[in-house]
Amino acid sequence: MTIGQAIITILAVVLGTMVTRFLPFIIFPADKTPPAYIKYLGKVLPYAVIGLLVVYCLKDVSLFQGTHGIPETISIIGIIILHTWKRNTLLSIAAGTIMYMLLVQFVFV
C-alpha cells in the first residue's frame, strides 16, 4: 500500500466513523421528539445485541470434546448470579470474562 492509498484509507475510515457518530444527532435533534419506532428500537436493540453476542460466544462450544463446556457454564452461572445481585452490566461482563479466563488458563488446562 502506498502512502497515498494509506491516507485515503484513513480518511475514508475517519469519514465513515464521523458520519455514523454524528448522523443520529443531525436526524434527531435534542429539541425534537423521535418517532415511536426509534424509541422502540432504543429499548429492544441492546437486549438483542447481548443475545447475539451470547450465541456467537457459545457457537463453538462442544459438549462432547475438550472441557465439555464446563468453564463456559460456570462463567454463565456466575454472571447470572452477579448480575441478579448487583444489577451492573459492566461489572457482570468484566467479572464473567475474568472468571472464564481464569478457569481456562488455570483450572481446565
How large is the angle between the packed helices 89-102 and 70-86, nearest 10 degrees?
150
Helix, strand, or coil (residue 63): coil
Helices (H) and strands (E) in the chain, counts: 4, 0
- Chain position carrying cell 466513523: 17
pTM equals 0.66
Domain residue extents for the chain: 1-32
Contacts of 78 (CB under 8 A, 6+ apart): 95, 96, 99
Query: pLDDT digits over 6-45, tens only?
Result: 999 999 999 999 999 999 899 999 898 999 999 999 999 9
Q: What is the mean pLDDT of the chain?
A: 94
Helix, strand, or coil (residue 29): coil
CA distance 78 to 83: 8
